[in-house]
Chain A
């Protein structure tokens, strides 16, 4: 398709319109056109200094979700989601580990087609993306939304139906992939017939959330609420459009494919992760996030710029240059929302480092938030043509993907699970030391994983660009780095097993009597 000047102009306009919208927003904030919330309340909070004392219930910014019966309405669906998510986490990790081993031990599992790398990796991706990250994120959403809206969760039964449908969909999808039945596009492998089940499950999640949001008893929606509500509306649109069979062909299909694949990360998993961190960080520390104005910029810049980002996967492909350049520009513009989120979250943590020591869930969550900043900066830079020509088609990209999906989203979700589950069940985790082990296994494992793939990926890219080296050189040089990746992946998987053990032990433990005490999961 030759891109006409008119079409190019329209595409460029989408960037310009986004820019104008962002400028208007910033202007409005700067000139106090947007009413910032509870300005008087904020003043009364900060005047005395260190905030309020415990057990004083009529002061602003305090609300008891237990007394209001809110947690009771959402605890069941949330626990179901956590259980299912952790199952898929273990299942997906084992497949990821197997796929990683197969790269440097190619003769290990050659017996059956189900065990080959192509299927192992795909099963890994789909089970961790749709089984683990999505459901863990939804657990946070269903826990946090009623709490910040001061109202109980509506249609909890429908949510449970959704959970059942969703897990049937993921299981069927994963089984289909393992048996060789796929739609053949990365991130869209689950056959569209099975996608119908997933779409029905998603609908059962969306409606209760909308009902709960409409019945909210607060005027101001806290920033986590924006991210969650936006994500829960964006994802079904993305999922349905990208999965409708026979709608797109050829280059168009590749474009839609990557538009979807990147938006699953940026407009679904990212809002879940950022929204959870936005709630959990101040909640655990007991201090507000840095600035309402900054969080507005962060959210709207994400909403305006992210949707065009995915086409940078097709740099060098037969896609109109315009489209790719537009995508690169949007990718780099992502610096704006990421910096905004970074200011809001990291400043709050940095001023309260004592809490980092005090709460292990906070450690997971704020480290995850830090990795969001890193992954996003890395992604923006990776989208530049000069960098992409080296890193494209190498393991560097895999390292980047895991920095985002694992070190950011997964760590935040694990922290959220450690924070939520004791409050939803009224029970403490039986093995608090195991949580520490989990944390350090994940941190060390991921560091080994990420450094191996990043260094190996760059060397691989340089070797592939060097015409004087045979292609096989770019493969053989990777071996030690792939082994490092398996080691790191093994440590991470071990950490997940500890999480599962703790959860199972908690499920069988007896409820303690002092339930709503001031409890932090570890220590």
Chain B
């Protein structure tokens, strides 16, 4: 190494000093610099343009919100018709005819005639949970409350529309009056059938007496503990799903889901046919009896909707998918299986109405990707794949805007249970 002869003779001696030669800047450097400068200016101008646009849009939206909350008097019928068709007609029919044996009619209804728009608003605000007699026929009444889904103005419009169109009433109800009703209804349970309505509103036709709901099912102490405190190494249901089973974000709403559906999901988590690490852990610690009892607990639970559209979905597109489907991409309407207004069809089809939008969109994506694969006949996998990301958000947001499902009444559940299996089995045997 110290032998100089082995080195390349071109190597400089140690005293050479680096310096810069005197050459011009190569032309391509100018071109690139100019091109980049132009691109930079265009980019900045474009962004400033879109920022200004976004600001304008935001300001316009704010104005709309202000306008929407402004108090208004009696509503024009057209707007009431829109609200009615979107929210009420799915069960009561576009012409208010109801459905024989299941949904009472509004057209020429003696109750609507007697109570007017104000009574309709009162019912819409609290929902019904109990038998009700309309035009001499007694219906097993379960109506959701629309307090969370519609604002005062919308309820006033729809109630006025019903009273005027279907019973020829002259007076509607104002948004201010509805606001009063909303205050009075806060925290109230649904109307316990026609009997409670009759007690509050003079002049209604004779109503059947409300059943004694409280005595029908003994509150299971074991279940109450599971839900509110957990047991052993298992945390409580309520710690994620909320004390009213309303869910949040990607944690689903459980209140009012069919008992059989809840039980099946818990069993699927146990066996690994539905994947979720948290739920698998919890479900594996539950006995079959506990699962049945928990399913019953949530199936009869009534809770206001905790869901609001929050995914920036296109609500009109979501409504189209939910109510009509989109046959151009092979997607049937959600409501064909999940029931009118997405209230669910026991035992297999869960309610979708008022479900958390992030949960619905996430589950649809999971169906599409194959990480969730426990639906009968692979039905949901096909639908999930057909929907794109925007569609998933659209339909999830639309479903979140719906009123919550009316829960399975306790009486009915007990009856179903005793048909299927001895009621004794539902008590704890831990």
Contacts and interface: CB of A to CB of B under 8 A. Distances in A.
Interface string A31-64: 0000011110010001000110011010001111
Contact of B48 (A19, A322, A512): A322
B384 to A, nearest CB: 8
A357 B320 CA distance: 71
A518 B13 contact: yes
Contacts of B371: 468-470
Interface stretch (A175-183, A257-265, A336-344): A336-344
B44 interface: yes
A465 B368 CA distance: 14
B51 A321 contact: yes
A297 interface: yes
Contacts of A517: 2, 4
Contacts of B4: 517-518
B19 A26 contact: no
Nearest to B40: A329
A516 B18 contact: no
Interface in B1-58: 1-2, 4, 6-8, 10-26, 29-30, 32-33, 36-37, 39-41, 43-44, 47-48, 50-52, 55
B389 interface: yes
Contacts of A282: 18-19
A20 B16 CA distance: 37
Contact of B29 (A223, A294, A332): A294
Interface string A489-521: 000000000000000000000001010111110
Contacts of A236: none
B392 interface: yes
Contacts of A279: 18
A249 interface: no
Interface in A273-328: 278-279, 281-286, 288-295, 297, 321-322, 325-326, 328
A222 B6 contact: no
Question: Among the interface residues B21, B39, B275, which one has the most CB atoms of the partner chain A within 10 A?
Answer: B21
Interface in A456-496: 466-470
B19 A343 contact: no
A151 interface: no
Contacts of B1: 428, 432, 519, 523
A520 B32 CA distance: 38
A65 B18 CA distance: 13
B26 A343 contact: yes
A292 B20 contact: yes
Interface string A119-150: 00000000000000000000000000001100
Question: Among the interface residues B4, B13, B362, B365, which one has the most CB atoms of the partner chain A within 10 A?
Answer: B13
A355 B20 contact: no
Interface in A413-453: 423, 428, 432
Given A289-B20, A336-B36, A30 B25 contact: yes
Interface residues of B, number: 52
B360 to A, nearest CB: 12
B21 A290 contact: yes
Contacts of B362: 467
A62 B16 contact: yes
Given A468-B370, A470-B366, 5 more contacts: A8-B48, A12-B48, A39-B22, A297-B25, A468-B384
B17 to A, nearest CB: 5
A333 interface: yes
A467 B47 contact: no
Nearest to A294: B25
B44 A325 contact: yes
B17 A148 contact: yes
B14 A470 contact: no
Given A8-B48, A325-B47, A354-B8, A62 B17 contact: yes
Given A12-B48, A297-B29, A291 B14 contact: no
Contact of A293 (B6, B24, B44, B50): B24
Nearest to A224: B18
A62 B15 contact: yes
A19 B35 CA distance: 12
B14 A355 contact: no
Contacts of A523: 1, 6-7
Contacts of B41: 15-16, 19
A24 interface: no
A428 B15 CA distance: 19
Given A57-B15, A466-B369, A468-B366, A42 B30 contact: no
Nearest to A16: B41
Given A22-B33, A286-B16, A428-B1, A355 B23 contact: no
Contacts of B19: 37-38, 42, 61, 222, 282, 288-289
A469 B32 contact: no
B363 to A, nearest CB: 11
B11 A518 contact: yes
Interface string B229-261: 000000000000000000000000000000000
A423 B8 CA distance: 19
B40 A516 contact: no
B29 A340 contact: yes
Contact of B7 (A329, A344, A520): A520
Interface in B171-215: none
Contacts of A61: 16-17, 19
24 contacts: A3-B51, A8-B51, A22-B33, A42-B19, A61-B19, A66-B14, A223-B20, A281-B18, A283-B18, A284-B12, A285-B12, A293-B22, A293-B23, A294-B23, A321-B51, A322-B47, A344-B20, A355-B10, A357-B8, A358-B11, A467-B389, A467-B392, A468-B371, A523-B6
A335 interface: yes
Contacts of B52: 5
A340 B33 CA distance: 10
